[in-house]
Amino acid sequence: MRATLQPGLTNRLTKYLRTTQQLIEEGRDAVSSKELGDFTGINPVQVRRDLNAIGFSGTRGVGYQAYDLVEAVRNILGLRQTYNIALVGAGNLGSAIAASTILPKRGFVIHDVFDDNPEKIGRTVGNVVVKHIDELKKSVTEAEEIIGIIATPASSAQEVAKLMVDSDIRVILNYTDVLLHVPSQVDVHRIDPTAQLMHTLYYLTQAEGQEAS
């Protein structure tokens, strides 16, 4: 077994990974610690220290080889090449998520989409035909899905979470604002921009207070 990385390091590595993947898509072969620092808000000295810590080094004046960096970080994080995802909710939000180009670029494939509205079942969102929610467990097992996304109205979220737990989903991305009750072995992440906003606005207010004083 590999040594366990510190949460702070893991968190920063995922940011370097995401940024480097994006720079590759913009046509870049190499990235510098300064660029990684600028786009992630992390000090370039810390960037170099982190990449050194995972045994990855760059070339002075050139930077880090972008593809190699992506592979090195993916390996150290133990990420599979692709993860299939079960998405529940085929409304505006679910359709937007299914059509997202971000997820597949990072190895996350919306493999199945479910709804309980007969008008939505059989329609295509993204590249996927919407199935009835009753097929969730069967599909999740077949496609070895351990990640579920809840993009339903709030009133259905807890019920969907229970179905996901019963289907052995391990990680739930919850786009509703319902506090889901799930067993402790299941990770729930709320996708809620308001926490980031409040955090940022606090520092903005502070900075303006300092300018004025």
Binding residues vs a second copy (CB under 8 A)? 1-2, 4-5, 7, 10-11, 14-15, 17-19, 22-23, 25-26, 39, 77-79, 83, 91-93, 95-96, 99, 101-103, 105-106, 108, 146-147, 154, 170-171, 173, 176-179, 187, 189, 191-206, 209-210, 213
Q: Which is nearer to a second copy, 109 or 136 (CB)?
A: 109
Q: Which amino acid, 85?
A: I
Q: Which is nearer to a second copy, 143 or 146 (CB)?
A: 146
User: Residues near 206 by Cβ (< 8 Å), separated by ≥ 6?
Assistant: none
Give the H or E element holding residue 39: helix 33-40
Give the H or E element holding residue 24: helix 7-25
- Least Å distance between CB 166 and a second copy? 18
Q: Which amino acid, 133?
A: I
> For tokens 């993916």, what's the residue?
74
Q: Which is nearer to a second copy, 22 or 139 (CB)?
A: 22
Q: Which is nearer to a second copy, 59 or 196 (CB)?
A: 196
- Least Å distance between CB 170 and a second copy? 6
Q: Residue 200: CA atoms inside 13 Å, Cβ hemisphere, count?
A: 6
Whole-angstrom distance, CA of residue 98 vs CA of residue 48: 36
Q: Provide the token pair at 42.
A: 């992390």
Q: Which is nearer to a second copy, 1 or 61 (CB)?
A: 1
Q: Which is nearer to a second copy, 136 or 151 (CB)?
A: 151
Whole-angstrom distance, CA of residue 172 vs CA of residue 174: 6
Alpha-helical runs (H) found in the chain: 7-25, 33-40, 44-53, 66-77, 92-99, 102-105, 136-142, 154-166, 193-212
